[in-house]
Structure formats: C-alpha cells, structure tokens
Amino acid sequence: MAKILVTGGLGYIGSHTVVELQQNGYEVVIVDNLSNSEIKVLDGIEAITGIRPHFEQLDICDDKAFQVCLTKHNGIDAVIHFAASKAVGESVEKSLDYYRNNVYGLIQLLTLMRKNDIKHIIFSSSCTVYGQAEQLPIDETAPRQTATSPYGNTKQMCEDIIRDAIISYHDFNAILLRYFNPIGAHPSAMIGELPKGVPNNLVPYITQTAAGLRKELSVFGDDYNTPDGSAIRDYIYVVDLAKAHVKAMQRLLSGSNKSDCEIFNLGTGSGVSVLELVNTFMEATGVNLPYKIVGRRAGDIEQVWADSSYAEKELGWTAKTPLAEVLNSAWNWEKKVRNIQ
C-alpha cells in the first residue's frame, strides 16, 4: 500500500486524516514541529487504529532535517500538506512569520518533492479564498477575492505556487481542498481540537464555556442580513473532512484526476447561523450555554456555505453527519480533556 507523508499530521485536521488513512491501509509518515500540537496525539492515533504512525519532529522550513527524514523514509508516494499557521488575527500581527511558515514552507516542500521524485500533493486550502461570495452556495468556479488577512493571502499564494510548479515541472499533480468550517472530534474522543489559549473559533469557545473555563460566549453580531441576524457558516465534521482526503488520495494515486490541479470545495452544502448552532449544542448535549450578543468581529463575513456537488460527483463523497452528533463529539472530547464526567 502507498506511503503517505503528512505534514502537520499531529494537528487537528491532520490527526483525524492520519486515522482515516491508516484505516484504509496507507502507511503514514508524519512530520510536525509541534508548534501547535502535542506529542501525545500520537498515542490517540495509535489507540484508535492500533498502529503508531512514523513520526519525525521537524520544521518543514528546515530543508536539511527534512531531507534526512525523506532519505530515512524513502519511497514516499504522495504528500498531504497541512502544516501551516492558521490564526487569522495573529497573521495580521505577525505577517512575516505567516509568510515564512506557510509560503516558504510550501516552497521547501515542493523543492524536496522534486528532488525526491514525489509527484502528488494534496493541499489544505480554505473557503476564505472566496471572501464574501456574491452567489450562494459557493462552487469551485466562484472567483477568489482579495484576501482580508495575511493568513488568507498565504492560502491564495500557496494555491498559485502549486499551480505554477505544475506548469514548470510537468510530472507534478495536485488536489487543492478548500475546507469550509471544520468542527467536532473523533467519536472515540481519543483525538480532537486542542486550541492553545483562548479559542478564536466558535465551537471550541462553546465547549470551553460549557466546561466552565469561560464565563459566557460572545455572539459576534445579530444585525447581519440573515434570518436571525447572526452570521452563517458551513460547519463540516472533521471526520467527514478527513475521509475526503482519502478519496482525494485514491483519485491522485489511481490517476483518475481530470486535470493536474483539481479544486474541491468541502462543506455540507448547508449554512447554519451562530444562534442556530448555539441552540443545537444546548439541545444535543442538554448543557445550558450562557451567551450574550456583542458587536460584529472585525473582518468577519456575513454568510458562506458550499456547493459541494462537484466533490460528491467526482470523489463520491458527502458530509452527512448530523450537526447534533458533531456537536456531541466536540463536547465529549472537551469533557475528556477536562476530566468532566
């Protein structure tokens, strides 16, 4: 079975994807510098799959260490590239760090892929590249819009770098996956999201509030042009998202891709407002969630959700897990992390 290099494989989406890859028979080599993850995630992956993936702690920007790793684990067939910095607000404060890690890191990776004759890459992109789209739902033909943060800009630049590398070096091919809003945790509660400090994202903030770590959730805005006034997103279960990577990998390795650089939107196809999500969390878990309405968060867009019919048609993939089940998985993970019965 094929050997897959997973950069950032101890992170949130990476760890769930490693589980699915292993459960589908792939051999996995993880590289991660632990800048936003913990080594014990390896134990969680092993507890679920019964297999401890190969792991090398290194920074992908360190080409010497990276080459040593590729020599040691020679015969890599393809890469899934998750390793990146991802906090939108922090990227405004530390833009050069973001360009170095996300853009330079990708350039190093592609350079080493060429040197080591690795031809296939799956890249973690984001619906952030669409900005506030004029038409909803958003399909892959929707135009990208000027990024509103250095983070968003790195995703656009990385997509372009991959596209250009394919033109320069004809034997490369890629699948760019544009994720909508990944949430939830593995049903085993052995792995999940581990935000450092105060969470920026909605679901970890909710579960930490429910666990008593935060006093109340602030709902950022109830004056949007949406049915209940709160902003709308397409929340996709991280396990469903992970499974899409396996489908994409099968497609690349079997050569059934239709072009050398394919793009897929990965979402559920449905938009959910912040207030709907809060209410679903309370109904699903039976936990009361204190919240207050505050002003809009700077830089937030009003509403986005995906048209994922292209992924359904081409990858044979859909995100079907009900939101209540997904929110329960997030809560079960939070309870496990906090030792709550």
- Options 6, 142, 202, 319; binder of ligand UFG; rule CB under 6 A: 202
Task: Say if CB 220 and CB 296 are below 8 A apart.
Answer: yes
Task: Look at residue 59 and give the partner it binds from ligand NAD, ligand UFG, none, a contact being a CB closer than 5 to 8 Å depending on partner kind.
Answer: ligand NAD
CB of 196 to ligand NAD, least distance (A): 9
Query: Any contact of residue 327 with ligand NAD (CB under 6 A)?
Result: no
* C-beta closer to ligand NAD: residue 203 or 217: 203
Tokens of 151: 């983070």
Burial of 341 (0-12, 13-18, 19+ CB in 10 A): exposed
Task: Look at residue 218 and give the partner it binds from ligand NAD, ligand UFG, none, a contact being a CB closer than 5 to 8 Å depending on partner kind.
Answer: ligand UFG
- Options 2, 12, 149, 319; binder of ligand NAD; rule CB under 6 A: 12
Query: Any contact of residue 121 with ligand NAD (CB under 6 A)?
Result: no
Which window, 8-16, 165-173, 219-227, 273-281, contacts ligand NAD (CB under 6 A)?
8-16
Please give the size of the binding site for ligand NAD, defined by CB under 6 A: 28
Of residues 77-116, those binding ligand UFG (CB under 6 A)? 86, 88
The beta strand positions in the chain, using DSSP E, are: 3-7, 27-32, 54-57, 78-81, 120-126, 173-179, 181-183, 217-220, 232-233, 235-237, 261-266, 272-273, 291-294
Query: What is the number of the residue whose Cβ is closest to ligand NAD?
Result: 11
Query: Any contact of residue 66 with ligand NAD (CB under 6 A)?
Result: no
Task: Look at residue 220 and give the partner it binds from ligand NAD, ligand UFG, none, a contact being a CB closer than 5 to 8 Å depending on partner kind.
Answer: ligand UFG
- Options 11, 44, 53, 150; binder of ligand NAD; rule CB under 6 A: 11
- For the stretch 43-52, contacts whose Cβ atoms lie closer than 8 Å and that sit 24 or more positions apart, written own/partner, are 44/15, 44/186, 44/190, 44/191, 45/15, 45/18, 45/19, 45/190, 45/191, 47/188, 47/190, 48/19, 48/186, 48/188, 48/190, 48/191, 49/19, 49/22, 49/23, 51/22
Task: Say if CB 176 and CB 124 are below 8 A apart.
Answer: no
Smallest Cα–Cα separation from 70: which of 19, 114, 102, 13?
114
CB of 288 to ligand NAD, least distance (A): 26
C-alpha 121, offset from chain centre: 15
Task: Say if CB 22 and CB 46 are below 8 A apart.
Answer: no
Of residues 131-170, those binding ligand UFG (CB under 6 A)? none
Which window, 116-124, 131-139, 214-222, 280-288, contacts ligand UFG (CB under 6 A)?
214-222
Query: Any contact of residue 210 with ligand UFG (CB under 6 A)?
Result: no
Query: Any contact of residue 82 with ligand NAD (CB under 6 A)?
Result: yes
Query: Any contact of residue 99 with ligand NAD (CB under 6 A)?
Result: no
Task: Look at residue 285 and give the partner it binds from ligand NAD, ligand UFG, none, a contact being a CB closer than 5 to 8 Å depending on partner kind.
Answer: none
Instruction: Please provide residue 311's backbone torsions phi and psi, each rounded to the nearest 5 degrees.
Output: -65, -40
Q: Which residue has the tokens 């250009």?
A: 164
Query: Any contact of residue 109 with ligand NAD (CB under 6 A)?
Result: no
Instruction: Please provide residue 78's backbone torsions phi and psi, each rounded to the nearest 5 degrees.
Output: -160, 165
From the CB of residue 108, how many other CB atoms can be counted at a distance below 10 Å?
Answer: 17
- Please tell me the distance from the alpha carbon of residue 175 to that of residue 261, in angstroms, as a whole number: 6
The identity of residue 192, as a single letter, is G
* C-beta closer to ligand UFG: residue 48 or 219: 219
- Options 5, 6, 13, 236; binder of ligand NAD; rule CB under 6 A: 13
Which residues are known to be catalytic? 151
The residue ranges that bind ligand UFG (CB under 6 A) are: 86, 88, 126-128, 179-181, 200-202, 205, 217-220, 231, 233, 274, 297, 300
